[in-house]
Amino acid sequence: MFAELIDRRHHTGNVRAMSYARQLPEATRMRAEAMGDDGSRWIAALDASMAHLEETWVARFGTVLRGGSESLVAEATLADGREAVVKVGLPAYGDLSGEARVYALAGGRGYAELLAWDRSVNALLLERLGAPLRDAFATTEAQLAALCRTLEDAWVTVPDAQGLMTGAEKARWLKDFIEEKWSALGRPCDRATRDRALSFAEEREEAFTPANAVLVHGDAHAENALLAPSLAGGRFKFVDPDGLHAEKACDLAVPMREWSTELLAGDTGRLARERCEMLAAATAVDATAIWQWGYMERVSTGLTMLDIGMREEGLESLAVAERIRRS
């Protein structure tokens, strides 16, 4: 069968003739080049790595997909006709072992199914999913409701941390990050806003208990949830997990930090509280925990955006945090 796939590829004249290195997303190429020799070697070896994976997995690779900044992602077709995607991560930046662990723990529930993992070239083979959740719904409310349904599918109970970061460690990391970046970036929001985020981080660290922890995605926004053709009712599955062992509210911080423009356009504090209450009601998760995770996630995200040059978006996120604090 693999010989037939190779023959088909030569006849269509697409995949083997093209260079994956030449089709890298620009953001991935820039990050690889910024790595120096390691990144240059990764780019130079990319075509050979893809050929190795095609042979190992008995697959035919196709169109390179756009987006992302730490990997190459391309369509794949397996020998039995199943459609998949291959993801090859940058060294250091894009170590996919953590993602592989999350996909394996989830076992296809709420996450793309892991079909194969090749540690030697840092590559995953995943079931192919459809369009992102963001494209499926016109309103923020509908997107939030669909995200909640998808999270409930994905919150798998695991016996222990399985090598993943815990909720306590995540809260501590956010606290340290906010303290460091707030000073390094010239105090871009007022001290009281920073202190509120630090206080919430301390509370969530103290509140962590393994008994209430589940497998948490860690970056559950509407671009990371893709339509799952295999599931009835227009349901979605997650991709690109950070992977944590934490309370469910940790995942609900992400929809709390999104859609800043909408929050700034009205009574920011009231709109944020209404969103928090909606998420709590939809998932039966404690509203206080959602509020605290959401606030510190918003402040840390604003600082991150400023740090990478997204000044307008970063200041907008921090402006929401300041308004919420004053409300």
pLDDT digits (tens, 9 = 90+) for 6-31: 333 333 334 444 589 889 998 899 88
Tell me the C-alpha distance between 324 and 275, whole Å. Answer: 13
Domain boundary pick from 127, 152, 182: 127
Which sign, positive or negative, has the C-alpha torsion 310, 313, 319, 320? negative
Task: Output the CA angle 304-165-110, nearest 5 degrees.
Answer: 90
Cβ atoms of residues 296 and 290 within 8 Å: no
pLDDT for residue 172? 98
Buried b (16+ CB within 10 A) or exposed e, 169-198: bbbbebbebbeebbeeeeebbeeebbebbb
In which residue ranges of the chain is pLDDT below 50?
1-17
Domain boundary pick from 60, 93, 127: 127
Say if residue 202 is in the same domain as residue 223: yes
Nearest to 12 by CA among 64, 62, 57, 51: 62
pLDDT for residue 18? 59
Say if residue 118 is in the same domain as residue 172: no
Say if residue 121 is in the same domain as residue 247: no
Buried b (16+ CB within 10 A) or exposed e, 138-156: eeeeebbebbbbbbebbbe
Residue 74 phi, psi (nearest 5): -140, 155
Say if residue 161 is in the same domain as residue 111: no
Say if residue 18 is in the same domain as residue 164: no
Say if residue 164 is in the same domain as residue 111: no
List the CATH number of the domain containing 46.
3.30.200.20
Say if residue 259 is in the same domain as residue 279: yes
pLDDT for residue 233? 85
The domain total for the chain is: 2
Determine the structural domain holding residue 22 and report its residue range.
2-127
Domain boundary pick from 127, 146, 172: 127
Say if residue 186 is in the same domain as residue 217: yes
Say if residue 83 is in the same domain as residue 188: no
List the CATH number of the domain containing 246.
3.90.1200.10
Say if residue 120 is in the same domain as residue 33: yes
Buried b (16+ CB within 10 A) or exposed e, 292-326: bbbbbbbbbbbbbbbeeeeeebbbbbbbbbbbbbe
Say if residue 37 is in the same domain as residue 65: yes
Say if residue 38 is in the same domain as residue 144: no
